[in-house]
Structure 1
Amino acid sequence: MTITTVEHNRLRQNFEGLSSVWLFGYGSLIYKVDFPFIEQRPATIEGWARRFWQGSHDHRGTPEAPGRVVTLIEQPGALCKGMAYRVSPEVFEHLDIREKNGYLRFSTPMVFHDDSSAEGLVYIATAENAAFLGPAPSVDIARQIARSSGPSGPNSEYLLKLAEALRALGDHDPHVFELESHLR
């Protein structure tokens, strides 16, 4: 069930002539930084809400029992806090593989905490990808997270580390914290 988007992402942006690119992380890219970066800054994007609506068949679950990880859902007026990284274009060779299960790279304006801004890239798993699970009651999502595990570890670890990272950023994400509450 793994939906490989690696080649599709490699065709989405042309990095020719660029020495660096901004990347916005809103899920595991906040706390699991397994790539080199030039600069790291807290940032916010507007019009997007973080939701545990994407299936994870390759990291936090299996094809037979997918876990749930976050993606972004368009929501007018919403603010999504995360971490921005200025990276060399070569870093996307690793990230495209890491984010291969349904995630595509999109361009997004980001606002840093000092009110400066930049254009960056963000990985989003849209509702059109085959691994998209969509909305469900929060108790059901928490149950699925509690029982799922994959090559990257328990799905619950993903949720708990994300909640901790969001608190460190000073963010209060009602969706994430409600799921954390159900999980505990």
Structure 2
Amino acid sequence: MSANTIEDNRSRFNFDGVEAIWLFGYGSLIYKVDFPFLEQRPASIQGWARRFWQGSHDHRGTPEAPGRVVTLVEQPEAVCRGMAYRVSPKVFEYLDVREKNGYLRFSTAMTFDDGCQAEGLVYIATEDNQAFLGEAPDADIARQIALATGPSGPNADYLLRLADSLRQLGDDCAHTFALEACLLKSGLLTES
């Protein structure tokens, strides 16, 4: 599958007659909310784990030196905490471009903090997209993140902002926090 998924996403769901739909964010969509929304609520989805296994060639890296950003991988017992936004379908005209580097929209059941549930959409970069990097030792991922920079800024900022946002949500994402610890211990971060 091509890394550019704009057209794929625009053909995946028919929004005719839909005024609003929930969107689940688990990465930069938690802290970089540069789109209009009608409502915002902490939520979680089951059966998925957050992993820094997706290459970023367009935001947090370049084609020559890709960064690493999160995607979701199936894990039956996992619970991924994030933020849900009720949005107009028109928002996807922008988000499909923002999330074009290998991410496809999928339908998902979400559980809000009060126990209520709703169906929504989530962007996932599956392992068959050209930008998928896959699993690697934490130290190697942290080093790649420390060294990568793209049009949206240093890849390290992405990791550090996500870790901070997850703490604010009360999430204990062992993978993200282990990478954060490796990054901070690496000595590769420069003072700004």
Structure 1-normalised TM-score? 0.99
The aligned runs of 1:159-174 (5 Å cut-off) are: 159-174=159-174
Q: What is the one-letter code of the residue matched to 1:134? A: G
**Match of residue 8 from structure 1:** 8
Distance in 2, matches of 1:14 and 1:66, equals: 33
What secondary structure, in the 3-state scheme, does the structure 2 residue paired with 1:96 have? Answer: helix
Distance in 1, matches of 2:100 and 2:123, equals: 10
What secondary structure, in the 3-state scheme, does the structure 2 residue paired with 1:12 have? Answer: coil
Distance in 2, matches of 1:130 and 1:62, equals: 14
**Match of residue 148 from structure 2:** 148
> Unpaired runs of 5+ in structure 1?
none
What secondary structure, in the 3-state scheme, does the structure 2 residue paired with 1:181 have? Answer: helix
> Unpaired runs of 5+ in structure 2?
185-192
Q: CA deviation at 1:78?
A: 0.2
The aligned runs of 1:35-184 (5 Å cut-off) are: 35-184=35-184
Q: CA deviation at 1:3?
A: 1.7
Distance in 2, matches of 1:182 and 1:103, equals: 26
Distance in 2, matches of 1:83 and 1:15, equals: 22
Distance in 2, matches of 1:77 and 1:41, equals: 23
**Match of residue 29 from structure 1:** 29
Q: What is the one-letter code of the residue matched to 1:147? A: L
Distance in 2, matches of 1:175 and 1:38, equals: 31
Q: What is the one-letter code of the residue matched to 2:40? A: Q
Distance in 2, matches of 1:3 and 1:110, equals: 26
What secondary structure, in the 3-state scheme, does the structure 1 residue paired with 2:11 have? Answer: helix
Distance in 2, matches of 1:54 and 1:3, equals: 10
User: How many residues in Structure 1 have an aligned counterpart in Structure 2?
Assistant: 183
**RMSD of aligned residue pairs (Cα, Å):** 0.6
Q: CA deviation at 1:63?
A: 0.2
Q: CA deviation at 1:66?
A: 0.1
Give the share of equivalent positions with the same residue, in percent: 72
Q: 1:97-134: per-residue Cα shift (whole Å, max 9, x none)? A: 00000000000000000000000000000000000000
